[in-house]
Structure 1
Amino acid sequence: MLIPKITPTLTLYLLIIVFLCCGASISLSQSLRYGGLIFDAMAQIDERTDFFKAIKKVRKSGVSKLALFARSRKYLGQNEDEVLELRNSHKDLIILGSPKYFLLRDDLDEDYISTTLENIIKYNYLFIGEILYTHADKSHGEQTLRGERYVDPLQPGTKNFFNELSRFNIPVMTHWEVYNWERDWPRFSKIYSEYRDLKFIIPHMAFGHPHQVEKILSVNPNVYMTISKKEKDQRSYSDRNKASKLGPGFLDSSKMLRKSWALIFDKYQDRLLFATDAHKRPRWKKYRKIIRIYRKILGQLPRPIAEKVAYKNAANLYGVIVE
């Protein structure tokens, strides 16, 4: 396992955090809250969420940019037109990615590949919305016979798609989770290595441990990660054995950033992206709360690192200006 080097800046900042926590008269939430610009680098929406109310929450939260894509649960392209209309009504806020298609199994199918490639140009998509390669059953979601959704990244469809994507210069979101590390990491490592000209985004840091995140990012300079859903330990898995394989959340019992994660933020500050991953209606309802939580997390980082994670990295990756 590679051990990140602790820089003087990070060491000083960790000491400041310890000092503040020890002062009973000082409120952590007041003293360590990041108040700068925010770029939500990943969110998704479907017909079960009120679009108007969702965007109202985003604006009230002080978010400057939102990377959004449609959720197509029943058929390819479902909710795509509605999300395009939403973008056209909020061009100052929303950048769009291609829809997330839920009916992929084992490999990417030809309809998904051809339609997505065509619509990149047609609709000016700036990224490929989340491809569900591995997704364990959650207690609040679909229960499958195999206990997971699974698409093998080494099957021909993925390679055909990525070969075509190489001409577009836009990032692609590859969703996988570390619960079957021995099966999946070698596969994704091969893909990320073979397609060095593509930039990949892994949502939720793959729910990994710090040493797994370190492994992934250290050998793949073209890979980025969102920090969504990492504020606390994941407890939503249907399978307890799978859940036991996941890494810890960012915060300890005192709501302080764990040192192991602080080191990751420091070393990979140029490739971590703030995101809410607002998707289903319950998470959209909590949107403003999620923003408040992450402002406190970002406030525990040195300001230059916090700004990179909060908006600068996403702006650079998607090629947009944040003001």
Structure 2
Amino acid sequence: MPKPKIHTMEELSAAIGVSRPTLSRYFQDPTKVSRSSVERIRTGLDRVDYTPNFFATRMNRKTTGMIGVIIPYLNDLFFTRLLESIERAAMAAGYTVISQCSHSDPEIEARAAETFLSMNVDGAIVAPLGNHSDLHVYERLNARMPFVLFDSRPKLLTGVDFVGTDHKQSTSMMVDYLCRVGSPPVFLAMPRVNFNAVERENAYIARMIERDLEPVVIGTEMTAPGAYFESHGLAVMSDHFARGALLDSTVLCVNDRVAIGALRAAAQHGLEPGALRRGGLRIAGHDDYPLCPFTSPPLTTVAQDVDAIGQAAVDRLQEKLRAENQTGNQIVKLMDGVMKIRSSA
């Protein structure tokens, strides 16, 4: 026999013989209800078809048990991995994650932040677009709730807690490796649309100067509207290869998606990075994008510790929640990158 379907708390109260206030306390926190009532409610719930309203059960709580997360791209597997790491850490801590994507649009990013404010989430963990984000929205967010930045930190939000990768360490490590095994690298940058791209470019320049080498940066200009990652790397390197330039050079790309575009350009021009069959062309990236082991050739890169970043972001948010969002104790936690040496360089 199908179970009777229950639509409201009032119907549930009548069906299982427990008062409406007791049911409300149970769904908010079972420890606030006597053992005998808990057993009676659980037995009653087994007899009926009822799903409590997620938001209604949290309306009168001091905490909603929800954390808001904003990422900049849904089509980027790197951010998918970061979101997964945050969700796992948050679930282990007893929180529900409400995720939003800014889709590379500052207006959508601002609307996502306002949504979290309207939902009264307990706190927010955000990977911002960069210095073109609406910083006033994040200032409001930081004033209203515990708030942690991850992955990217706009210069004007330096007073907000941040968890991410030490790009100076990771980029310098890659420069040192490439210089050790071959020619000094050229840096394939991208239009300066986010904090990480600029920070890695600056780290490359600084390390090359420390080694008494001349920094060479290419690809800072937009190749086409919206052409950032793979298409940007493809366009920049195709232009150079077509002119007979950089055919036997070492190219350090600002990130792995740009490097994948550079690998595609090499293939189109009959070049084999890392194989040394037509000169010494080598291509390396940064991030350890999940597809890197499966490119042709497999991409040498620097891995960001996404699991540690996600855990640290949730841990810091919990610390702020326990401290009721007290200011004056901001932290910046940077994780070292790890070399992933493969065939491309």
Higher relative CO (Cα under 8 Å, sequence separation at least 6) belongs to: 1
Does TM, scored on the shorter chain, surpass 0.5?
Answer: no
Q: What is the TM-score normalised by the length of structure 1?
A: 0.30
